[in-house]
Amino acid sequence: MTKAVLVVTNMGPKPSSPFQGQFVKNQVHALQKRLALNYFYMSWHNDSPLNRLLKYPVLFAQFFWSYILSFKSFDIIHVHFYYPTIWLALAYKFFRKPSVKIVVTCHGSDIYHYQPFSFLYRYCSGYVDQWIFTSEKLQRKAFTSAPKAMVLSAGIAQNYAQARLFARAEKDIDLLYVGALDKNKGMDRLIALLPELRDKKICVVGTGVYQAQFQQLSKDYPNLQLEAGQSAEQLKELYQRSKCFLSLSRNESFGLVMTEAMACYTPVIATLTDGSTEQLGADSFWVLDQADEHALQQNLLKKIQQLLSLSDSDYTALQQSAHQHARNCLVDDVAAKILQLYQNLFSE
């Protein structure tokens, strides 16, 4: 009988963030080329107070109706974002199929935001058959000593494999940021830098609580360009046009946007997080300690000036090094590793 997999996640697109959960969707599409796989995600998703109050009850009700009261049978449930999404998989295991195997991919905030771990959080972890973490540091922070754990990139869209190398002189954007416009991603830090970067073209791509503030600032800073959510193809063009990508996060488990930028031959300056350590190395010249905010601001300005004034040969070498690292993170390669993991669980 053909083995079947169900991928479940508490993420999904919403009007203010149309590409939220995109990397999970990319993984699903890559895996569906290889095996029978169903995908369940948070489809009722917006920023209204009612949605914030009821989105999880609705998610659980939809899952119960679609999969627990269904004749469909799954051998593996792959949970993206451990808690509280794990309860969907456990409901299927308790009420529908006790033999189902459970795989969990931890994203970062499903660990960071739940410390210290509650009893229920720890209880659920005992039913996980395979853990996937996006960095070694994230794994060390997780509540599990299970031997079945692996570190694996979340995977970037396959179209980044066709990225072209642009010489610095061909790039018209000095600094690029892509991601959520919130405090954890360091948007207050970027805003504080603006007065010192009036001679640099800065492109900010994303949505979030700082969006209105950026829109107001763009009136005073004509060098500041704002873009809403972009597709992978649109992002590839922006990455290729940019001389430097900024990652200013306070917490970042992996940071796929850094990987995307590097895949497009764009060097990255980043704050020290689990994600930047995993991709650039904690001792990288372009990774900055963030223990002191004042020192960080000074160091950011210094590093930006240094990167943009590198010799052509040194800048090109930096581009090539970044691209070489990111080549291992393409979603088809990640999907192949996940498929092997599934096959190992099927055979147990």
What is the residue-averaged pLDDT of the chain? 92
- CA angle in degrees (0–180, nearest 5) for 291-296-300: 145
Radius of gyration of the chain (CA): 21
In the chain, what are the domains? Answer: 5-155+330-346 (3.40.50.2000), 158-328 (3.40.50.2000)
Confidence of residue 1 (pLDDT cuts 50, 70, 90): very low
Question: Cα separation of 19 and 219, whole Å?
Answer: 27
pLDDT at 61: 96
For residue range 245-283, what is the model confidence (pLDDT) as tens digits? 999 999 888 888 999 999 999 999 999 998 898 888 878
| Structure tokens that stand for 163 in this block | 């990225």
Angstrom CA distances, 164 to 211, 238, 262, 266, stand at: 30, 12, 11, 10
pLDDT at 281: 81
Give the total residue count for the chain: 348
Residues 124 and 142: beta-carbon distance below 8 Å: no
Angstrom CA distances, 269 to 138, 261, 287, stand at: 21, 11, 6
Mean pLDDT of 318-339: 92
Angstrom CA distances, 298 to 269, 291, 294, 307, 342, stand at: 13, 13, 7, 14, 47
For residue range 12-53, what is the model confidence (pLDDT) as tens digits? 888 877 778 888 999 999 999 999 899 999 999 988 999 999
Residues 176 and 266: beta-carbon distance below 8 Å: yes
For residue range 131-159, what is the model confidence (pLDDT) as tens digits? 999 888 888 888 766 668 998 988 899 99
- Nearest by Cα to 153 from 166, 138, 140: 138
- Nearest by Cα to 7 from 232, 345, 338: 338
pLDDT at 120: 95
- Cβ neighbours of residue 130 under 8 Å, at least 6 residues apart? 101, 102, 103, 104, 148, 149, 150, 341, 345
For residue range 56-90, what is the model confidence (pLDDT) as tens digits? 999 999 999 999 999 899 999 999 999 999 999 99
- Cβ neighbours of residue 144 under 8 Å, at least 6 residues apart? 125, 128, 131
For residue 120, give the 3-state DSSP assignment: helix
